[in-house]
Structure 1
Amino acid sequence: MIPSRGEQREDAVLRATLELLAEIGYGSLTMDAVAARAKASKATIYRRWSGKAQLVTAAIERHTAAADHPAPDTGTLRGDLLGLLRPMRDRLTGESAALVLGLLTAMRDDATLAAAVRARLIGVKRDAFAPALRRAAGRGEIAAGADHELIAEVASALLFSRLFVTGEPLDDAFLGRLADAVILPLVHGATP
């Protein structure tokens, strides 16, 4: 199905917003800059979004919706974990890295923006682990009741630390160590 002119215009505006966020950050982002990058008028943008926070929220939601993938079912918890960690790593080391860095400071000062980022960028990761853990519990690999939110937070924090703090590789060997030395012991230590 061919997108309508309005859908094409919206896509161009949201794509321009994400590009500018990654390049110059939230604080320097202006509606003028988005309009120029998207080749749209400011009036067109303001008809759809009332301000910068709403526009950025929509762009984040579009970006993360496009990146959402169902948890893989490999038949083992370890395989499912690696199937979740690889795309998380790939998104983080790709365009999401610059996007996240562009938003971190702004989140402290804008509660609406912070809520949107937490719900989408972080919430999606938290929810991604739940199906894999339920399947593992159903297969008898783990006890039911593992804290998928804590597991996602720990995994995300270690990926983030490697990329932005230590600069150490985020290769498949590290993902295997993350699964084997951190996540699986955390899951096996869970109590329902």
Structure 2
Amino acid sequence: MGWWVVRGEVREEAILGATLGLLAEIGYDRMSMDAIALRARASKATIYRRWSGKAELVVAAVERHTGQRMAERPDPGDLRADVLGTLQGMRDGLTGQDSGLLLGLLTAMHHDEELARTVRARMVDDKRQAFDPAIDRAVARGELPAAINRALLAELSSAMLFSRAFVTGEPLDDEFLTGLVDDVLLPLLRHQAGDA
């Protein structure tokens, strides 16, 4: 790896770190590209070569901070274990996030259409696809038909995790996740499989 690659990675980390710091301190609306450049000790031209604007930069910084994209896990061999493992990964990512940062981002989405589009395209779509590997493996094993409503599964799961993490404050422990799988998600999948 050449020195220019390392330097570029260090520069990127500085820019993303400055973005997160300002986002937490003053919020999305008050944050400017000038302030990010100043804090990161980078030129605006350097920032714009990598990110098209503030919305894309903020989403990239949040993704980097939270490890947003879930790594694909090995096949555990059955649908129940696979869905539970996916939920545990989602839970770990959600509880590892700075709640103030996430809630501030969601609030800003209501009045900034560019940010809302970018978040939906990059982060929300990732959540919708979280169960795809588990469903694909279950279909290949013959446990489920291909015509499963994957978006419903992901949306329901995300809503329940989000509610516990940020609204009710109830525990997001393995007992809750196991109940969610056994009492809600597997019956939903089986019902859809029966309709297919």
TM-score (norm. length: structure 1): 0.85
Within the alignment, does 1:80 sit opposite 2:82 as a pair? yes
Query: Residue in 2 aligned with 1:165?
Result: 167
**Is 164-173 or 115-124 further displaced after alignment?**
115-124
Contact 2:70 / 2:89 at 8 angstroms: preserved in 1? no
User: Counterparts of 1:50 and 1:134 in 2: how far apart (Å)?
Assistant: 34
Query: Residue in 1 aligned with 2:102?
Result: 100
User: Counterparts of 1:87 and 1:19 in 2: how far apart (Å)?
Assistant: 26
Assess, with a 3 A threshold, how the Cα gap between structure 1 residues 37 and 174 changes in structure 2: closer, same or farther. Answer: farther
Assess, with a 3 A threshold, how the Cα gap between structure 1 residues 182 and 17 changes in structure 2: closer, same or farther. Answer: same
1:179-190 to 2 correspondences below 5 Å: 179-190=181-192
| 1:22 Cα deviation from its structure 2 partner | 4.0
User: Counterparts of 2:82 and 2:98 in 1: how far apart (Å)?
Assistant: 22
User: Counterparts of 2:24 and 2:95 in 1: how far apart (Å)?
Assistant: 13
Q: How many residues align?
A: 192
Query: Residue in 2 aligned with 1:12?
Result: 14
Within the alignment, does 1:25 sit opposite 2:27 as a pair? yes
Query: Residue in 1 aligned with 2:135?
Result: 133
Query: Residue in 1 aligned with 2:57?
Result: 55
Query: Residue in 2 aligned with 1:68?
Result: 70
User: Counterparts of 1:77 and 1:29 in 2: how far apart (Å)?
Assistant: 44
Assess, with a 3 A threshold, how the Cα gap between structure 1 residues 98 and 86 changes in structure 2: closer, same or farther. Answer: farther
User: Counterparts of 2:138 and 2:48 in 1: how far apart (Å)?
Assistant: 47
User: Counterparts of 1:94 and 1:19 in 2: how far apart (Å)?
Assistant: 17
Unaligned runs of 5+ in 2: none
Assess, with a 3 A threshold, how the Cα gap between structure 1 residues 86 and 48 changes in structure 2: closer, same or farther. Answer: same
Contact 1:12 / 1:38 at 8 angstroms: preserved in 2? yes
User: Counterparts of 1:32 and 1:123 in 2: how far apart (Å)?
Assistant: 30
Contact 2:83 / 2:181 at 8 angstroms: preserved in 1? yes
| 1:75 Cα deviation from its structure 2 partner | 0.5
| 1:81 Cα deviation from its structure 2 partner | 0.9
User: Counterparts of 1:24 and 1:154 in 2: how far apart (Å)?
Assistant: 32
Deviations 1:106-164 (A, max 9, x none): 11112221122112221111112122112112223233311111100000000000111
User: Counterparts of 2:163 and 2:89 in 1: how far apart (Å)?
Assistant: 17
